[in-house]
Structure 1
Amino acid sequence: MVLKLYGSSQSTCTRRVGTVLLEKKIPFELVEVDLMKGQHKEPSYLEKQPFGQIPYIDDDGFILYESRAICRYLAAKHRDQGINLLPAGAKENALFEQAASIELNNFEPYANKAVAEIIFKPYWGQTPDKDVFNKLIEQLSAKLDAYDVILGKQKYLAGNEITLADLFHIPYGSMLIAAGSDIMTQKPNVTRWWNDLLSRPSWQAVKDGNFTVKA
């Protein structure tokens, strides 16, 4: 049975998983979940994802949710397929986990909230607060100063090979642009790294909602 990805092509976390699926050349079917109709809160969905969030995968009966956990699973199961995104050596894996922790604790909290402030609030019937957005961008900029130091010594966050930790940044980082910030292209080493990530065919496919890499 082909792997099924239950989510939305417009969702940041679904795009995170979709990018990895394409990088790993894993056949899959995207099953669109209509958030506006509340399909993610229906009993049949909650049986699979008890938090009522997207996405989750069904890999021949194996159900898994939380986008980063899904990506780790896919990269480990299909290690020799497509590009290797999960280092196997003890030291290499430790550096990957360090990089993944950097993304989760020093990027996601600021980028997520900044995007929510400008882009998501109007969908929720709330008024964006530009001052809150600017403060979050200021805090993120300070974090990216450290990124610039790291990326001045190596090509990617965990070393000279791309890993999941790099890809994890793309969905929210790209939405910062839509929110009106050029923070990802203000520092030279971050800019080089960021442009590299955005140019990947996997992301180009996912960002357009196609979830298919063009030949």
Structure 2
Amino acid sequence: MAFTNLKLYGRPLSSATRRAAVILIEKKVPFEFVLVPNREHKAPEYLKKHPFGQIPLIEEPDGFRLYESRAIGRYIAEKYASQGTPLLPTELKAKAIFEQAASSELANFDFLASQAVKEVIGKKREGLTPDYDRFNEIYSELSAKLDAYEIILSKQKYIAGDEITLVDLFHIPFGSSLVTIVPDVFEKRPNVSRWWNDISSRPSWQSVKEGVHSTA
């Protein structure tokens, strides 16, 4: 059966699914949320859509599919550039700074934040005991990265400049989970705290932080 809205496949509380959903909402793109139950992302039918068997995945009415939340974000921000919140710069040097910030988010924040969250929240969800020595080791590395964030944010409002971009939104899901483990993780640094309070209070995140749902 033909459908008229973009479909977002994932799970309601998946960090990557919520990352994609926030961007769709910021860009005012209606979507139908399609639940992929636990383990079904490895089922043959789903693997036809996503060869790595992961979430999220978007599917457009014309059949176009795309996976990886950051790739989805870039695609949606560019395709719907004229509506919603502008999330991608257009000037050459601003684009270069954006890509620098995007690479930094992935290597310096997500790499560590995701490990920290999985060590505590992920293990508890699986009925396992977190290794808090390992968590503290990861958290120490992350703290050093946030010190660098404090320097960057002392000179500009957002990570890639004075306008919000995809990069800022990319931080929110794992950042929000970190706050549940270490409530003052961002508050220790005034400029990071100001930035975090700004992005985490956006209506787009507030609408999905407890779980993604259809907006179509």
Report 1 or 2 for greater relative contact order, CA contacts < 8 Å, sequence distance ≥ 6.
2
TM-superposed CA distance for 1:39, in Å, is 1.1
Q: Which residue of 1 aligns with 2:132?
A: 130
Of the three residues 151, 160, 163, the one matched with 2:162 is 160
Gaps of 5+ in 2: none
Cα distance in 1 for residues equivalent to 2:106 and 2:178: 16
2:155 aligned counterpart, secondary structure = coil
Q: Which residue of 1 aligns with 2:47?
A: 46
Cα distance, 1:210–1:109 mapped onto 2, change above 3 Å: closer
TM-superposed CA distance for 1:12, in Å, is 0.2
Q: Which residue of 2 aligns with 1:191?
A: 193
TM-superposed CA distance for 1:127, in Å, is 2.1
Cα distance in 2 for residues equivalent to 1:211 and 1:148: 34
Q: Which residue of 2 aligns with 1:140?
A: 142
**Aligned CA-pair RMSD:** 1.3
Letter in structure 2 aligned against 1:207: K
Greater than 4 Å deviation, 4+ residue runs: 210-213
Aligned ranges for residues 11-22 of structure 1 at < 5 Å? 11-22=14-25
Residues 1:101 and 2:103 aligned together: yes
Letter in structure 2 aligned against 1:18: A
Contact 2:21-2:212 at 8 Å conserved across structures: no
TM-superposed CA distance for 1:208, in Å, is 2.1
Cα distance in 1 for residues equivalent to 2:68 and 2:126: 23
Q: Which residue of 2 aligns with 1:28?
A: 31
Letter in structure 1 aligned against 2:6: L
The CA deviation string for residues 31-77 of structure 1, in whole angstroms up to 9 with x for no partner, is 01111xx1111111001111111110001210100110000000010
Cα distance in 2 for residues equivalent to 1:159 and 1:101: 15
TM-superposed CA distance for 1:121, in Å, is 1.3
TM-superposed CA distance for 1:88, in Å, is 1.3
1:31 aligned counterpart, secondary structure = strand
Question: What is the aligned residue count?
Answer: 211
Q: Which residue of 1 aligns with 2:90?
A: 88
Contact 2:109-2:142 at 8 Å conserved across structures: yes
Contact 1:25-1:82 at 8 Å conserved across structures: yes
Q: Which residue of 2 aligns with 1:207?
A: 209
2:7 aligned counterpart, secondary structure = strand
TM-superposed CA distance for 1:184, in Å, is 1.7
Of the three residues 5, 8, 12, the one matched with 2:11 is 8
Contact 2:18-2:212 at 8 Å conserved across structures: no
Gaps of 5+ in 1: none
Contact 2:87-2:164 at 8 Å conserved across structures: yes
The CA deviation string for residues 120-176 of structure 1, in whole angstroms up to 9 with x for no partner, is 013334321011111111111100111000100000011100000000000000000
Contact 1:22-1:211 at 8 Å conserved across structures: no
Identical aligned residues as a percent: 57
Contact 1:206-1:212 at 8 Å conserved across structures: no
**Structure-1-length-normalised TM-score:** 0.95
Contact 1:22-1:212 at 8 Å conserved across structures: no
